[in-house]
């Protein structure tokens, strides 16, 4: 089955000359790494391929090779038309940057994704919820296509896999994940430097936002639930962005008995909505919790957007957590089918924040 699905993706790629690659809003390591690697690999095959992203939302990922070749999303509408859109690490069209959606609306679409809540909106979908990351699927497809890696593409996919596996510690890190990582290391990946930049170096803005998040820490339900909050005023006070506080959700997860961690935040230019990043342990489903508000993601890491005030959003989320924790919890995450899937495009999924 995988061969048939990869063959359908190959036909799309080989039939296109100009290709644009994008992922979800506020790109994380998996989204950006997968997009950069794909554009690089496609160019090496003679395709006129580009990745696009909001350059103001990259945070510390600006160190990646290939960032200099990214097309800013604001410039997309001024470019010549493309033949194919490749969507990576994004489970719904509504999670694409607003500037990307009209450009790709009428294009054949190849979707490469690994979210549990992935919608099948592409012409061809290579979607595998059992995969550790979109980067792992990109690597698998690239090897099947016999594409040749250089250091830039390898490092981009290394960042994809490392960030979405928590440095190879999360549940979906599999033997295939480790084979992909081992193969990428053959191409002079600077793993020590990458680890140091991503996990050990923080700007003054990021440190000040972490300090504010720590001050907001709220622990309840006998330590099983913990929250942190960053408001628009917090971001404005340090002139910071979402990218400067990407890992704030890890603060409530540090609590010894924590089972559900939530990070509430407002983006300064989108003050009428509250973003919620959710992490869970011990069998609770972050994806199910996020889905109550139109979001989704992974079993243990998910997100949603609640269009209301901060106080109302917190009240709604807390009530949902209380209701969820009254129910028996599964012993482990649902077993995802390890295969991929390809299908015609149905109607788009509901608008939601579906990335953690």
Residue 218 has pLDDT above 80, yes or no: yes
Residue 269: per-residue pLDDT: 67
Residue 118: per-residue pLDDT: 58
The Cα–Cα gap between 127 and 116 comes to 9
Q: pLDDT category, 347, cuts 50, 70, 90?
A: very low
pLDDT average, residue stretch 160-181: 95
- 157 and 264 housed in the same domain: no
pLDDT average, residue stretch 114-138: 87
Residue 332: per-residue pLDDT: 53
Report the length, in residues, of the chain.
Answer: 356
Residue 348 lies in a domain: no
Q: Is 108 exposed, middle or buried (0-12, 13-18, 19+ CB in 10 A)?
A: middle
Residue 163 lies in a domain: yes
Residue 331 has pLDDT above 60, yes or no: no
Kindly give, in sequence order, each residue whose CB lies less than 8 Å from that of residue 53, ignoring residues fewer than 6 positions away.
22, 23, 27, 31, 32, 35, 70, 72, 73, 97
Question: Residue for token digits 């149905």?
Answer: 346
Last residue of a domain, one of 144, 178, 198: 198
pLDDT average, residue stretch 279-286: 94
Residue 352 lies in a domain: no
Residue 339: per-residue pLDDT: 41
Query: By residue range, what is the domain housing residue 52?
Result: 2-198
Radius of gyration of the chain (CA): 19
Residue 204 has pLDDT above 50, yes or no: yes
- 181 and 213 housed in the same domain: no
- 241 and 279 housed in the same domain: yes
Question: Closest Cα to residue 115, out of 95, 97, 98?
Answer: 95
Both tokens of residue 164?
A: 């979405």
Residue 96 lies in a domain: yes
Residue 318 has pLDDT above 70, yes or no: yes
Q: pLDDT category, 101, cuts 50, 70, 90?
A: very high
Residue 342 lies in a domain: no
Residue 341 lies in a domain: no
- 194 and 208 housed in the same domain: no
- 194 and 294 housed in the same domain: no
Whole-structure pTM value: 0.84
Residue 120 has pLDDT above 80, yes or no: no
- 285 and 193 housed in the same domain: no
Query: pLDDT of 19-55, one tens digit each?
Result: 999 999 889 999 999 999 999 999 999 999 999 999 9
- 137 and 236 housed in the same domain: no
In angstroms, what CA-CA distances link 226 with 285, 308, 320?
Answer: 16, 21, 14
The Cα–Cα gap between 69 and 8 comes to 28
Residue 335: per-residue pLDDT: 44
Q: pLDDT category, 94, cuts 50, 70, 90?
A: confident
Residue 296: per-residue pLDDT: 84
Q: For residues 165, 169, 170 and 176, what is the CA-based torsion angle, rounded to 10 degrees?
A: 70
> How many structural domains comprise the chain?
2
- 168 and 228 housed in the same domain: no
Both tokens of residue 183?
A: 């193969």
- 209 and 194 housed in the same domain: no
Query: pLDDT of 238-275, one tens digit each?
Result: 999 888 998 999 999 999 999 999 999 997 766 689 99
What distance separates the 2 farthest-apart alpha carbons in the chain? 59
Residue 349 lies in a domain: no
Residue 144 has pLDDT above 70, yes or no: yes
Query: pLDDT of 176-199, one tens digit each?
Result: 999 999 999 999 999 999 999 999
Kindly give, in sequence order, each residue whose CB lies less than 8 Å from that of residue 329, ignoring residues fewer than 6 positions away.
282, 283, 284
- 153 and 286 housed in the same domain: no
What is the number of other CB atoms lying within 10 angstroms of the CB of residue 101?
Answer: 13
Q: What's the CATH code of the domain at 40?
A: 3.90.1640.10
Query: pLDDT of 54-77, one tens digit each?
Result: 998 898 899 999 999 999 999 998
- 186 and 223 housed in the same domain: no
Last residue of a domain, one of 148, 179, 198: 198
- 31 and 172 housed in the same domain: yes
Q: What's the CATH code of the domain at 238?
A: 3.10.310.30
Residue 343 lies in a domain: no
Question: Closest Cα to residue 117, out of 295, 244, 250?
Answer: 295
Last residue of a domain, one of 181, 198, 215: 198
């Amino acid at each position: 089955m995988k061969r048939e699905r990869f063959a359908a993706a190959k036909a799309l790629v080989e039939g296109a000359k100009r290709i644009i690659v994008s992922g979800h809003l506020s790109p994380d390591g998996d989204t950006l790494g997968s997009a950069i690697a794909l554009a690089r690999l496609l160019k090496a095959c003679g395709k006129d391929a580009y990745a696009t992203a909001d350059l103001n939302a990259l945070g510390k990922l600006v160190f990646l090779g290939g960032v200099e070749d990214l097309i800013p999303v604001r410039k997309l509408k001024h470019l010549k038309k493309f033949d194919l859109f490749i969507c990576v690490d994004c489970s719904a069209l509504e999670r694409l940057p607003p500037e990307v959606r009209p450009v790709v609306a009428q294009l054949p679409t190849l979707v490469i994704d690994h979210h549990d809540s992935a919608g099948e909106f592409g012409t061809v979908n290579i979607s595998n919820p059992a995969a550790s990351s979109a980067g792992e699927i990109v690597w698998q497809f690239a090897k099947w296509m016999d594409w040749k890696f250089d250091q830039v593409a390898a490092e981009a996919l290394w960042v994809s896999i490392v960030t979405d596996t928590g440095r190879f510690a999360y549940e979906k890190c599999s033997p295939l994940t480790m084979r992909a990582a081992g193969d990428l290391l053959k191409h002079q990946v600077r793993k020590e430097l990458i680890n140091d930049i991503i996990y050990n170096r923080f700007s003054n803005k990021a440190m000040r936002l972490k300090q504010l998040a720590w001050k907001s820490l709220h622990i309840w339900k006998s330590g099983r639930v913990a929250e942190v909050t960053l408001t628009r005023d917090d971001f404005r006070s340090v002139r910071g962005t979402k990218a400067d506080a990407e890992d704030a959700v890890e603060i409530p997860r540090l609590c010894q008995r924590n089972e559900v961690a939530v990070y509430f935040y407002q983006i300064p230019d989108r003050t009428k909505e509250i973003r919620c990043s959710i992490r869970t342990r011990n069998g609770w489903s972050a994806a199910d919790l996020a889905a109550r508000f139109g979001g989704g993601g992974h079993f243990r890491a998910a997100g949603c957007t609640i269009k209301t005030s901060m106080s109302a959003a917190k009240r709604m989320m807390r009530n949902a957590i209380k209701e969820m924790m009254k129910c028996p919890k599964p012993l482990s995450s649902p077993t995802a089918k390890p295969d991929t899937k390809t299908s015609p495009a149905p109607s788009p999924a509901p608008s939601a924040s579906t990335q953690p």
